[in-house]
Amino acid sequence: MPEDSSPITPPPAPPLVPGITDPRYTQVVDEAQRASSDAARTAAAVSVFEVPTSPEEQEAQAKLLREIDRKYLRELQMQDQEKAKQIESGGEKGIDRDETVLNAKGGTVTLDNTTGSEAVRISQKGGGNVKITDTVNSEFAPNNKQTLVNGDKFSTTKGDYFNQIQSNKEDRTFGDHTISVGDPNFYTTSLAQDWLDTFQDIAIAKTNPELNYGGVGVNTEIAFPVDGTPSESGAVEGGTYTKNKAQEFIQDIIEEAAPKLAKIEKDMGVGGNLKLFTTKNFVLRAGAGTASTDPGIMVENARPVTKKYKVKDGKAVEETQPVSVYESKDTANGIPFGDVHISAGTKIRMNAGAGGVGITSAGDVSIASTGRYTIGGAEVAIGGSTIGDSGRVTIVSDTDVFVDSGQLITHNAPYINNIAKEQITHVTPCAVYTGDLHVTGDLRVEGSIWVCGFYGVRAKGDIVAGGGAVSLLNHRHGGICPGDFNTCKPLTGPGQN
């Protein structure tokens, strides 16, 4: 039977394997189908012959088989020549397009040997796949993915790293969790301190006052020179001082330090910033519980303070009253959890919207600054209160306390003490005392004294008028002058004014 007359049924195409999207897969399937067809054709051609019995039949059968083989090889050669023409015309001469496919019910493993595009692909029937190429390793999990590492795990990314979670995320660390950001040189060398040392000259030049009225740096304690004279009151304000020439060379100092700073900043590397963004809320909590131990105690009647002064035998006698005092105790430093430490080498900036800022502490709160400390707002309230109404407010200053109000200042307490070792001055067009005014010293009035009380003026001693010429206590007249019924002029003499 001629070899072309046998019915040839091509084998079924391999099942579709999810995850294999390379168009070269179609070519691999075609070649596999061709090989299967050739094998089936050969088997069909051979199966039509009966077993020869005579030498003539055997020779005829052998001749027919040789002819089939030659025709088949000629067909393959023609196909290879045609394929070579297509490769040469497309500029792909010398490219290997060999590929091995292992197909099974559970999935497919593909080894692609295409020159320049070698790849390994593993696909599972549910769609999960892994692809490994020269440029990228990709992985797709259609459902869940779990990883368990019994030992240590190390991961290094030398380029950028992007991670996207389209739902919730939770990182749970049973030990310490450290996030380190920035070039390693920051941690292994003195880059930061070198930069600060180089910048020191610029900082000193900027700190210098424009005029040579002196000053001392609050951190460096550098004393700046004085060249000039103060005002008549001894104050710098209103005085005369020379211009500080250091201000003229600030730009030169900056230009001189700029190359050194640039070199150090280059060694610092790129980046080094930690940015946290949230569209809603940000919660930071340390410790699984809140320590409510007493950070200190209020000692009632611990210290006497001046309550008021009483006049006794013509002298002011101080009367004291005991007040409460707070004693700080160390009860929380030994707790091994619940601490939050924030340290900024340069500055901290905090901004809040209309919801405000609230800081509540069950222990001591300390805010200190070597520079200016400013508290401001539509209303500023400072209070000291504890259980038992024993709170205190203490204000201490090295030199002066200045209080200024555009309209009103009110002190309200059962007892108010203003104690000055030298002088208390009230500069006002009018002073009103609704009660008694007791002066244990002299009362000197440059203006007039008006007495509107029912009893007038009462004095245990003498009252002298006229610049010391007329004494009220020793004042006497010589009698009635004749004719006008008036008293005569005051008598003069020893003891008489």
Average pLDDT rounded to a whole number, residues 36-51: 49
Q: Are 216 and 222 in contact (CB under 8 A)?
A: yes
29 or 365: which leads in pLDDT:
365
Q: Are 454 and 474 in contact (CB under 8 A)?
A: no
Residue 25 has a pLDDT of 39
CA gap 243, 249 in Å, rounded: 13
Closest C-alpha to 122, from 133, 135, 131: 131
pLDDT at position 370 over 60: yes
CA gap 131, 109 in Å, rounded: 10
Residue 248 DSSP code: G
Residue 65 has a pLDDT of 73
Residue 389 has a pLDDT of 76
Please state, rounded to an integer, the average pLDDT across all residues of the chain: 80
Residue 151 has a pLDDT of 94
Residue 94 has a pLDDT of 60
Name, in order, each residue with C-beta under 8 angstroms of 306's C-beta and a sequence gap of 6 or more. 318, 319, 320, 321, 417, 419
Return the structure tokens found at 279: 């569209």
pLDDT at position 388 over 60: yes
CA end-to-end distance (rounded Å), the chain: 173
Tens-digit pLDDT profile for residues 421-462:
899 999 999 888 888 888 888 888 888 888 888 888 888 888
Q: Are 461 and 487 in contact (CB under 8 A)?
A: no
* Cα-Cα-Cα-Cα dihedral sign, residues 383, 384, 388, 389: negative
Burial 3-40 (b: 16+ CB within 10 A, else e): beeeeeeeeeeeeebbbbebeebeebeeebeeeeeeeb
Which of 75-84, 221-230, 379-388, 454-463 is predicted with the least confidence, judged by mean pLDDT?
75-84
Residue 494 has a pLDDT of 47
Closest C-alpha to 42, from 73, 76, 22, 68: 68
Q: pLDDT confidence of 363, banded at 50, 70, 90?
A: confident
Return the structure tokens found at 5: 């007359």
CA gap 87, 386 in Å, rounded: 92
67 or 243: which leads in pLDDT:
243
Residue 140 has a pLDDT of 93
Tens-digit pLDDT profile for residues 237-296:
888 888 888 888 888 888 888 889 888 888 888 888 889 999 899 988 888 888 888 888
pLDDT at position 493 over 80: no
Average pLDDT rounded to a whole number, residues 311-329: 84
What are the sequence ranges of the domains in the chain?
1-143, 189-267
Which of 37-46, 294-303, 372-381, 455-464 is predicted with the least confidence, judged by mean pLDDT?
37-46
64 or 394: which leads in pLDDT:
394
Residue 246 DSSP code: G
Residue 109 has a pLDDT of 94
Return the structure tokens found at 7: 């019915």
